[in-house]
Amino acid sequence: MSPEFHFTPAGELCFAGAVCGWELRFSDRTSLTPQGCPPPQISGDGDCRTIVWEKAPWRVTVAWQAAEENRCAGTIEVEGIMPEAITVTAVVFPSATVNASAESRIFLPVNQGVETAPAAELPFGVVESRIYKTMQFVAVYDEKSGCLFDHRDPAWNNKQFEFVRLPDSCRLQYCGIHTPPLPKNGRSLHFRTDYENSVISFHGNWYHAARLYRQWGIRQSWATAKRDNARLREIGVWLWNRGAAEHVAAPAEQLQRDAGVPVALDWYWWHSNPYDTDYPNYWPPREGETLFRRTIERLKAQGIFTQVYLNGMCWDVDNPTFADGGLDSIDILRDGSLRAVPFNVFNHHRLGFICAEGEPFFARLEKQIEKLVDAGLPGIYLDMIGCASYEDCFNPRHNHLPGGGSYQVAGFRRFLGHLRERFPGVKFCTEECNEAYMDLFDSVIALDPSAERQNCTPQWNYVPAFSAVYHGILPTFGSYALPDGIPPFDPLWPTDGKLEKERDWITLYPLQFQIELARGILWGQQPMAANLTMENLSNPQVRPLYDFLCRSAKFYHTHRDFLFDGEMLDPETLECDIVEVSFNQRMIFTKEAQLRSVTKPLPAVLHSRWRAKDGRELLVLCNYTTEPRTATWRNRSFRLPPMEYFACTPPA
């Protein structure tokens, strides 16, 4: 191998400031690592090495190969006989120790993307452990150097990432966790990653890491098989409204008149059942089929694109219909229990997660889609598939091997492909940024612009890494920006869950609506406001925020050749004031006793930089605050009025 590569006596790869080994984790909470094995056999020369460890009953083979400049690609193979009553729960590869500095930050592929606090501020022990859902890479970096880990897996086998801050230091450990499929009979295990697991040396931050990953990502079939998104390209703003037909339709119509751009409506709570209850049963509409059809036609006649809510992978296990096919459909956990969560904290119905082999569920869901398409719906939202279909399943009724594998993504892709064939004119949408299904969905809702409202980790910095990789291929939209700060409450829920008295949320959180709305636009997402009502439009306190919503829609629509079609460029550094922004951490299921807030120091002016398909570049700025602000980029100063956007050709 090239001089940059070398190995420890235990056979671990040393490259890019990381020492990369492996670990087998067992169900009895023991583990095996290179340090617990006899010295390995190392073979090969030049840019390839094969390392073999043997410790009865296990044989572990790792192959490393120098790839393009600054990248080393590896695979792991594990063979052995599991002892009685003990299983392999995880194959960790790489298990890498990174020599981070006090200033090093970690990029994590959580939705659009997040950047942690500096390593010195992270707690000791596990910093974060999650399932890979959006993209398959992480990175550690400071001003001097960076180390990127990726898993170049076109089949999207189930896998996780884990970061640990090691004791008494700023050193970090990255664990790429692969769950092996377990044999249904016998104790013999043979597992191999049929995809490359990379270690890459780079210089930069989250954006530069994303661009490195982009070189592989945009060559994959999910990116090259781009869908026709001409209809969605016309949209200037989305409304996420819930409830009765007139309640959701009238504000959309008024916003389209006032903003002067096409509006899209994401309509929840159109169905007969309470939200997050009784799935997959939805029909008939709450106010009857006749009014539902009339409303769809009314909106269509005005050019308002409408999609309605269905959950794409949950069955209410407390509904009587679950007895008819539910156990054949659901994910079963390793301990034999159902993978079910009572999202609805008011009536506590448990929603069970469906495995990709859940044919009884898919059949029921397809019948609901059939009714909606017949009613004239141009769009259907299939909740959770994009963000939750990557779990290991141990259901003994299923054909797939228990545990890991690629059966989840493959199975949901088959179902989505079937829907595409049967309903070719329908636009399908799902939850959160994801690459696994981006050639099968027309758009995704991404709520990262409202991350603080969702009670995400306050110290995290939310960054548009998915846009840096895939913008212009998969349309994204979304925020939870509430004009009056009041989320909707389903009238079919028990009323004891509702706040007794609303507060003056606009005064308490004067910048939250603006920054949640503006962030999405600066990240290349179509803007969206939630729960806009006709009462909002007659409220003088809400009016300035509504006017900002209209300006936001116009600005986005005017610059679609960059913000919808374009490529995100390195934003570089903008110098501006830092302001304290307070966020109300309140969603639809937040009870009175759970109300919290968080205050963060944030730039008063947001910015991003774009390149259109014809090569033109655009610098975009937004002062979301209520005071004039000055900002400087590449030695050019800008004076920005309050609550305004600005775009120009970037200075050289």
Locate tokens 């949209």: which residue? 235
Q: How far apart are CA 137 and CA 362, in angstroms?
A: 31
Paired with 165 in beta bridges are: 125, 172
Q: How far apart are CA 346 and CA 343, in angstroms?
A: 9
- Per DSSP, the three-state class of 647 is strand
Locate tokens 């159902």: which residue? 338
Q: Report residue 444 as tokens.
A: 């995704």
Looking at residue 198, its pLDDT comes to 97
Q: Report residue 274 as tokens.
A: 């309470």
Q: How far apart are CA 356 and CA 471, in angstroms?
A: 28
Q: How far apart are CA 88 and CA 391, in angstroms?
A: 17
Mean per-residue pLDDT pooled into runs of 10, the chain (652 residues): 75 95 97 97 92 98 93 97 95 97 97 96 95 98 97 98 94 97 95 98 97 98 94 98 98 98 98 97 98 98 98 98 98 98 95 98 98 98 98 98 98 98 97 97 97 87 97 97 97 90 97 98 98 97 98 98 98 98 95 93 98 98 98 97 97 84
Tell me how far CA of residue 626 lies from CA of 165, 504, 511, 622, in angstroms. 40, 17, 8, 12
Residue 490 backbone phi and psi in degrees, to 5: -65, 125
Closest CA to 135 of 163, 162, 113, 164: 113
Residue type, 15: F
CB of 138 closer than 8 Å to CB of 160:
no
From first CA to last CA, the distance across the chain in angstroms is 41
- Per DSSP, the three-state class of 416 is helix
Q: How far apart are CA 526 and CA 479, in angstroms?
A: 9
Q: Considering just the CA atoms, what is the radius of gyration of the chain in Å?
A: 25
Query: Which helix (H) or strand (E) is 520 found in, with range?
Result: helix 512-522
Looking at residue 3, its pLDDT comes to 42
- In order of their start, the domains of the chain are 6-217 (2.70.98)
Q: How far apart are CA 649 and CA 618, in angstroms?
A: 5
CB of 256 closer than 8 Å to CB of 302:
yes
Closest CA to 342 of 449, 489, 493, 479: 493
Q: How far apart are CA 134 and CA 107, in angstroms?
A: 13
Angle ∠(550,554,559) on CA atoms, nearest 5: 150
Closest CA to 604 of 574, 649, 571: 574
Q: How far apart are CA 113 and CA 568, in angstroms?
A: 14
Give the 3-state secondary structure of 298-318: HHHHCCCEEEEEEECCEEECC
Give the 3-state secondary structure of 41-64: EEECCCCEEEEEEEECCEEEEEEE
**Residue spans of alpha helices (H) in 378-511:** 385-388, 407-422, 465-470, 505-508
- Specify the DSSP class assigned to residue 376: T
Pairing of strands 427-431, 443-445: parallel
Locate tokens 């599991």: which residue? 82
CB of 376 closer than 8 Å to CB of 298:
no
CB of 270 closer than 8 Å to CB of 309:
yes
Q: Report residue 321 as tokens.
A: 């219909």
Query: Which helix (H) or strand (E) is 221 found in, with range?
Result: helix 221-224
Q: Report residue 336 as tokens.
A: 């034999």
Looking at residue 61, its pLDDT comes to 98
- Per DSSP, the three-state class of 28 is coil
Q: How far apart are CA 297 and CA 6, in angstroms?
A: 67
**Residue spans of alpha helices (H) in 456-501:** 465-470
Looking at residue 226, its pLDDT comes to 86
